[in-house]
């Protein structure tokens, strides 16, 4: 009798465990099926997942104080591209001016743009702020090479005010570029875009070329061809990539939200030197998308009088999506592509 009672209890326990497990599996399956419909019905969700502007890392930093991030030769500005839009800007002067920059105000930094040093306008990717760790490390590298570095948070990122959109991000970049050109005299101005920022960069440079005021060069770090191909290749899409109607559920809402970031189309209308940097082990933007973009740009008639170069970084180096700044070869690559940057003196 005791053996029979024990067996019955075990059967009941197994039955209860299977019931709970089945309930969990059904909930997971229901959620898996519901998410595509939710995104289709609310395309704004897909836009938020692309921008990730609500993800502010590192947390608890004061963007008004770039010196807290080790940028003691950097000034924080605020510019207003449009009514009700304010964007936070960092301007880092060449490292050789570190001592001269101590305690200086915004006017000194603005005047410094007219010095003999070239300027890089850096357009960051999604998530985080202009104070992101890997971004700060790149500013330091570029500053040490003798460049001014001007960067900013698009509307809706960091402490910048406004609602994110592709049009708005591009307009913010245009406003900052024009602000730089109004102060830089004849100094070269280069555009550097990373990840999603490459989409902003090609939008910007295409517009500049169309109005016949191109930058002196365009640098794309970890670029994609267009946002649909990038979304389809992104690691987050793996669990849905073979879901019936993937394009209709996930990619069409991106387009309906007015988000294209069509690098592959833009490069056909760009007339300035182009440098593409991409790590083979990039887990976010697949290396083949950067190579594909180069293959589209290289034969384009718009580049017939300009350099177009693709620099791959072997997967053994471990630079992945955002650590190309660590490459000891980067100074040489930039020097050969852009020409030697002389730190020069403050005017």
Contact call for residues 139 and 84 (beta carbons, < 8 A): no
Q: Which of 73, 124, 148, 321 is catalytic?
A: 321
How many CB atoms neighbour CB 158 within 10 A? 21
Q: Which of 153, 172, 264, 282 is catalytic?
A: 282
C-alpha distances out from residue 155 to 33, 75, 165, 303, 310, Å: 33, 19, 8, 32, 31
For residue 7, indicate whether it is catalytic. Answer: no
308 bridge partner residues? 274
Taking the mean position of all CA atoms in its chain, how far away is CA 220?
10
Please state, in angstroms and rounded to a whole number, the distance separating the CA atoms of residues 317 and 282: 11
Q: Which of 160, 195, 222, 273 is catalytic?
A: 195
For residue 282, indicate whether it is catalytic. Answer: yes
Token output for 294 = 């180069």
How much of the chain is in helix, strand and coil states, percent to nearest 5? 50, 15, 35
Please state, in angstroms and rounded to a whole number, the distance separating the CA atoms of residues 162 and 82: 9
Contact call for residues 261 and 206 (beta carbons, < 8 A): no
Contact call for residues 115 and 347 (beta carbons, < 8 A): yes
For residue 195, indicate whether it is catalytic. Answer: yes
Please state, in angstroms and rounded to a whole number, the distance separating the CA atoms of residues 191 and 218: 5
Please state, in angstroms and rounded to a whole number, the distance separating the CA atoms of residues 41 and 141: 45
Q: Which residues participate in catalysis according to the annotation? A: 195, 282, 321
């Amino acid at each position: 009798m005791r053996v029979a009672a024990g067996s019955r209890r075990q059967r009941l326990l197994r039955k209860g465990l299977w019931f709970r497990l089945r309930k969990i599996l059904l909930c997971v399956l229901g959620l898996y099926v519901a998410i595509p419909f939710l995104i289709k019905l609310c395309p704004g969700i897909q836009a938020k997942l692309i921008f990730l502007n609500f993800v502010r890392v590192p947390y608890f930093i004061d963007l008004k104080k770039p010196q807290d991030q080790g940028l003691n030769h950097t000034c924080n500005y605020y510019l207003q591209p449009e009514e009700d839009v304010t964007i936070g800007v960092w301007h880092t002067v060449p490292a050789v001016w570190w001592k001269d920059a101590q305690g200086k105000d915004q006017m000194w930094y603005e005047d410094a743009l007219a010095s003999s040093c070239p300027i890089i306008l850096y357009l960051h990717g999604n998530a985080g702020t202009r104070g992101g760790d890997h971004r700060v490390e790149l500013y330091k590298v570029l500053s040490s090479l003798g460049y001014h570095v001007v960067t900013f948070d698009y509307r809706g990122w960091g402490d910048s005010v406004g609602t994110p959109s592709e049009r708005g991000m591009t307009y913010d970049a245009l406003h900052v570029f024009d602000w730089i050109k109004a102060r830089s005299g004849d100094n070269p101005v280069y555009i550097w875009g990373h990840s999603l920022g490459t989409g902003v960069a090609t939008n910007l440079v295409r517009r500049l070329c169309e109005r016949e005021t191109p930058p002196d060069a365009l640098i794309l770090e970890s670029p994609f061809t267009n946002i649909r191909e990038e979304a389809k290749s992104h690691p987050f899409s793996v669990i849905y990539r073979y879901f019936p109607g993937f394009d209709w559920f996930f990619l069409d809402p991106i387009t309906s939200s007015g988000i294209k970031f069509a690098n592959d189309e833009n490069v056909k209308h760009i007339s300035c030197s182009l440098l593409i940097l991409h790590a083979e082990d990039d887990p976010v933007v697949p290396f083949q998308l950067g190579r594909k973009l180069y293959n589209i740009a290289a034969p384009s008639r718009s580049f017939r009088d300009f350099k177009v170069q693709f620099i791959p970084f072997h997967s053994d180096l471990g630079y992945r999506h955002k650590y190309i700044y660590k490459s000891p070869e980067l100074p040489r690559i930039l020097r050969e592509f852009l020409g030697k940057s002389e730190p020069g003196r403050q005017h």
